[in-house]
Structure formats: C-alpha cells, structure tokens
Amino acid sequence: MKPNLKQDDPDRGLFRRVGKTARRPIRLDVDGAATEALAGDTLLVALLANGVRLRDSEFGDGARAGFCLMGACQDCWVWTADGGRLRACTTPATEGMSIVTRGAVWPGRR
C-alpha cells in the first residue's frame, strides 16, 4: 500500500489528534487568521493541529515547528500580538489569544 500523504493540503496540520476531541472549542488568532483549537491544548498543539510551522529560524534556514516538547530546546517560541514571547510547548492555548509566527516582533520595535 502506497502511503497517501497530503503534504500540501493547507487544511491539515502537522499533528494528528488521536482522541479526546470532545473538548470545548476555543478560538485563537494566528497571523490574523481565525484558528480553532481545543481547551487543554498547548499553544504548540493548537498551532500544529492546524498548520505546519511555528516560527522561522532567525538565521534564514527555514521554518521550525519545535523539537523537544518539554521546554528544553527553546525552538517553539512564538510571539503575542503585543510583542510578548511565549514558549509554545509549555503555554496553554486560551480563548482569544493573538499569536504572531511570522516576522518576529521584537519587543519595543513595533
């Protein structure tokens, strides 16, 4: 059987939920787009259930989507609309969050 992986399907995120999806839906704003997630999701899961990246490397080598998921690698940083830095794997996603993943907004630079 040839695996059918829809790599380019924009509606599918990197992560796959395997149950416990009967949780309360929450809505986030990600780069200006309304994004639905579930209460109890970490920010990392909320973003990667819907998309395939969290941030761009500051060194020009492409997109990143986290690595260790336990707060050690610091490769899942995203930004709030007002310039705050969040470590997506250890931050719970909450209703109404506004997240910026493209073009890091450095504090005080807005």
Of 90 and 98, which has the nearer Cβ to another protein? 90
Q: Residue 52's closest CA among 63, 43, 42?
A: 63
User: How many other CB atoms sit within 10 Å of the CB of residue 89?
Assistant: 22
Give me the count of residues in the chain: 110
Q: Could you give the string, one character per residue 6-45, with x where binding to another protein holds by CB under 8 A and - elsewhere?
A: -x------xxxxxxxx-xx--------------xxxx--x
> 27: part of which helix (H) or strand (E)?
strand 25-30
Note the residues at the interface with another protein (CB under 8 A): 3, 5, 7, 14-21, 23-24, 39-42, 45, 48-49, 52-54, 57-75, 85, 90, 92, 107
